[in-house]
Structure 1
């Protein structure tokens, strides 16, 4: 054994974000508020889709699954970050818990890629193949594709996280990040990470890049079909049915590409850390907001549910 293997680490210190002591409390309550709104917003989406028969369509079914993915992502990352703000120190986490956090983070990101792809296929069929829509996008197909997406996400990520767990970590046991991301973890390893990086690359191509191109192709067909509609009003009406999804896709992929195209070493690591907030904290927050604000059916059902609740509350008194 060399000297590195004699100093294997068991715990990792996440540096998180440095904030002036006089604003730490404010930052804590800000992120706590964002987390609460994220959970409530996504739970509201799931509840509305389950509650209303008018929302029992493939688009809203996939949207409820996207909300589940956002809850998983936010819950995996934000509570540890809040704890670091509360105790005003670095977060100490065991290597095994760090890898576990990476696992659920990667599962949520992978599932989101696949779910967004299913949603783009749904919009493609609805706009480009309306006569075949109900036959192709039936209840059984929706459940099969969602179960397959979640299963593939859990299995694909498990393959390379199991390999990561077999690595030897020699330190230094400090990660300049607020959660256990892949590259910072691999930098702590004194083992050969070639196999892990190959598996991650294959997984990224299969569940990240290919779905992205499927989404692009779907929207090329959608845009061509929309431009074939003679009236401007008709174009606007059809485009409005996929504008929310297109907005969510744009935000999700642009932030991911921006983070992972920036070099991860040196001074740019601090930039990467702050930009990572976009897809770990803000994306799960704004997804339900985008769909709620831009979707008349969701707003209508939400208003109806609130009215029913208030009526029941006042009648019971």
Structure 2
């Protein structure tokens, strides 16, 4: 049953890349606000993507959206396959006749970060680097190519690009040639598409989480769960500033419901900024400001994570 009186009741959203992490959380929170949410990804109950995490599926995300009060519709989609994306958008058009919110959160390149980080560009294989660009950049381009004509059919459409870092924090080199390019590209996409969507009363915004406690980060990187995540601080002190995926999800839902969101057109916003703007907190009641904390740390200054929660 949908949340008929929610701020996003009657709105149609597509969260591309919603199998896990921030993508799943954004889909759920959009649903909690009353939206109908089409959720896509490559891992299903019968097929596993190269990420290799069969425990999180796109069908489960759809069910979580519905349980939150929205309507979740899972559509397995490989966003590197133009015909699959075309079919996805045609289905949304056929079934709903409109698209109000497009969230480009397609990624799935975590397994390539270790391959490419802390090495000079020419010191590792070309194939993993180009694969990272395809997963994190080409997928977004393909999706926008097919989805934006439906988004601009009605005035007020919202495009959200998801990346790692804001324009300010990404001004410094990210220590890995391909990762740097991959995560900087959505910032430029929003800058340009914001101008193009403006003609149709649309808005484009880039968002980023902070130090994200995704399922993959908790389990694979630190061997902890959400219940005992603080045990990982001994391994990585900066993990003390981390946040749940729900934190960004709440911010995106509030942004989508904001009738004045055009003031952010072409800009990049982190989860902490969204939380302050809309009076939100993470699930534990805290308000992490990861990028504020990291800006101090990267400047060589001392900073206590507790002062940024």
- Counting helix residues as a fraction of each chain, which structure ranks higher? 1
- TM-score scaled to structure 1, two decimals? 0.27
- Counting strand residues as a fraction of each chain, which structure ranks higher? 2
**Which structure exhibits the higher relative contact order, with contacts defined as CA atoms closer than 8 Å and separated by 6 or more residues?**
1
